[in-house]
Amino acid sequence: MISKNQIKLIQSLKIKKYRHKHRAFVVEGDKMVKELLSIDWKKENEGLVKRIRVVYAVKEWIEQEQVLIDEYPSLQFELISAAELAKISQLQTPNKVLALVDFNDLSMELSLQNSLVQHALVLDHLQDPGNLGTIIRIADWFGIERVYCSNDCVDLFNAKVIQATMGSVFRVKPYYVALEKLMQDAKREGLPIYGAMLGGEVIHKSSFERKGLIVIGNEGAGIRSSIQPYLSHKLSIPRLGKAESLNAAVATGIICAIACL
């Protein structure tokens, strides 16, 4: 039986300031929890997840996944009722299992020297949780290991972000950084900086080096004016129809499909 204090703690994690105060977040659902459990801790423990505190699950899930549970003898699994799960779930429809997870610090003293061996995504003031989660999933699809978020991007640990990643958040390494410092470091290292902008070179006619930064701007305002001067390559996706704009995640997928293949 889950304690009232633990219920209160998990409920508080719906709010950003409490997630960062307790340095914890929630992972929900069968697929997401299994993705979490599959982390190669020897390789990934410098990524997003610091440790799994506890996994709460209803009787049905415990019985179905007993073989899986037995693979993690040092991990705490607790049986709770469906009503208790509903109290701590951040989903409209609770999904059998929920993990309480501690996270690592996502800020870093950024040095790109000799460390960037492929493309990395840079997100400038992205505000939509679904977009951030989907972009992390896109990065995972194309083998991009790093996503740099400006400090004013939506919080990675927002439940909608975590769910939208579909588990990719446990493989891709996201960082929150001062964007201008990142741009300065990249420029000093001679790395190309690609940015999606109206009026840029048609992306299909552009050539991409094997590594560099790909900047995606805010959903409404695009790449902010203070970042634009750092772009060495301004790119545009040709429009053949009448849509006014592309969703940020869709645009990211198109660019990655050309830049990374």
Asked whether residue 37 carries a pLDDT value surpassing 90, the answer given is yes
DSSP codes of every residue in 153-206: SPPTTSHHHHHHHTTGGGTSEEEEE-HHHHHHHHHHTT--EEEEEEEEEEGGG-
Mean pLDDT of the 78-106 span: 95
Indicate if the pLDDT at residue 185 is higher than 80: yes
Q: Does 182 score more than 80 pLDDT?
A: yes
d(CA 174, CA 44): 12
Q: Reply yes or no on whether the pLDDT at 114 is more than 60.
A: no
CB-CB contact of 52 with 101 (8 Å): yes
Q: Measured between alpha carbons, how far is residue 89 from residues 26, 29, 115, 224 in Å? A: 9, 10, 39, 36
Q: Which residue has the higher pLDDT, 41 or 241?
A: 241
Number of Cβ atoms within 10 Å of the Cβ of 198: 10
pLDDT reading at 4 higher than 70: yes
And the tokens for 185? 């470091």
pLDDT, residue 170, reads: 94
Catalogue all structural domains in the chain, each as residue range(s) with its CATH number: 4-103 (3.30.1330.30), 119-259 (3.40.1280.10)
Q: What is the DSSP letter of 111?
A: -
All residues at 6 or more sequence positions from 63 whose CB lies less than 8 Å from its CB, including other chains: none
Above 80 in pLDDT, residue 19? yes
Longest dimension (CA), the chain: 61
115 phi and psi angles, rounded to 5 deg: -105, -20
Residues 32-38, mean pLDDT to the nearest whole number:
95
Single-letter amino acid code for the residue at 176: Y
pLDDT band at 225 (very low <50, low <70, confident <90, very high): very high
d(CA 168, CA 116): 20
Taking residues 104-129, what's their average pLDDT? 81
pLDDT given at position 40 = 75
User: What is the distance, to the nearest Å, from the Cα of residue 139 to the centroid of all Cα atoms in its chain?
Assistant: 9
Q: Is residue 215 very low, low, confident or very high in pLDDT (cuts 50, 70, 90)?
A: very high
Q: pLDDT digit string (tens) for 39-51?
A: 876 554 567 899 9
pLDDT at 70 over 90: yes
Specify the range with the lowest mean pLDDT, choosing from 28-32, 76-80, 116-120.
Answer: 116-120
Q: What is the pLDDT of residue 244?
A: 86
DSSP of 67-83 = HHHHT-TTS-EEE--HH
pTM of the model: 0.94
Rounded mean pLDDT, 102-122: 77
State the average pLDDT over residues 33-40: 92
Using CA atoms, how far apart are residues 116 and 191, in angstroms rounded to an integer?
9
Contact 142, 249 (CB under 8 A): no
